[in-house]
C-alpha cells in the first residue's frame, strides 16, 4: 500500500480533487468531489451525495483514481486505489454530522479509498509512479 506524504495531504486539503472511475462499457468517468479528504496515511475518502455515475461505477466494482493539482505551483498527484462503501460507523457518522453543519443532507455513503499507487502530476516528472 502507498503512503501519503504531508505535501500530498496539504494539497488534497487545499485544492479541488477529481475522482475518476470506469463505466460498464469501459469509457472513463470523472467528476469533482468537494468533500475529498485524507483519512490517514493510506486512505482518502469523499462523501457520495449525488449517487449518479461515479456511485454506480463504484457499486459495480470500479477502481478509483483521484487527481489533485495546484496549477500555480505546477504540483500535483494521482492516487489510485480500491474503494470501500461505508454507510455506518464512525467515518459515516462524522461525515453526516459535518454535512448537516454546513446545511447539506447526509451523504448516501462515504467512499473510503485504500491508496495502492501514487503518480506524479508535477513538472518535471509528470506521469511517473512515485509510490
Question: What does the pLDDT look like over 36-95, one tens digit per residue?
Answer: 999 999 999 999 988 899 999 999 999 999 999 999 999 999 999 999 999 999 999 999
Give the pLDDT confidence of 106-130 residue by residue, as tens digits. Answer: 999 999 999 999 999 998 899 999 9
pLDDT at 16 exceeding the cut of 90: yes
Cell numbers placing 66? 483521484
For residue 98, name the pLDDT band (cuts at 50, 70, 90).
confident
Name the fold adopted by 6-120. Answer: Pnp Oxidase; Chain A (2.30.110)
The predicted model gives 2-16 an average pLDDT of 97
The per-residue pLDDT for 50 is 87
Given a cut of 90, whether residue 26 has pLDDT beyond it is: yes
**What is the predicted pLDDT for the residue at 1?**
78
Would the pTM count as exceeding 0.85? yes
- DSSP per residue over 13-35, as a string? HHS-EEEEEE-TTS-EEEEE-TT
CB 118 within 8 A of CB 78: yes
Going from N- to C-terminal start, the domains of the chain cover: 6-120
CB atoms within 10 A of CB 110: 25
Distance from C-alpha of 68 to C-alpha of 131, rounded to nearest angstrom: 16
Amino acid at each position: 500500500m502507498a503512503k501519503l506524504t504531508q505535501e500530498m495531504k496539504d494539497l488534497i486539503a487545499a485544492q479541488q480533487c477529481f475522482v475518476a472511475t470506469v463505466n460498464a462499457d469501459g469509457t472513463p468517468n470523472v467528476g469533482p468531489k468537494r468533500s475529498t479528504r485524507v483519512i490517514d496515511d493510506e486512505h482518502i475518502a469523499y462523501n457520495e451525495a449525488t449517487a449518479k455515475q461515479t456511485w454506480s461505477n463504484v457499486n459495480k466494482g470500479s477502481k478509483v483514481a483521484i487527481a489533485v493539482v495546484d496549477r500555480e505551483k505546477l504540483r500535483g498527484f494521482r492516487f489510485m486505489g480500491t474503494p470501500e462503501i461505508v454507510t455506518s460507523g464512525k467515518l459515516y457518522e462524522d461525515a453526516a454530522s459535518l454535512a448537516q453543519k454546513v446545511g447539506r443532507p447526509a451523504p448516501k455513503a462515504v467512499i473510503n479509498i485504500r491508496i495502492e499507487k501514487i503518480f506524479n502530476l508535477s513538472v518535471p516528472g509528470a506521469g511517473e509512479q512515485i509510490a
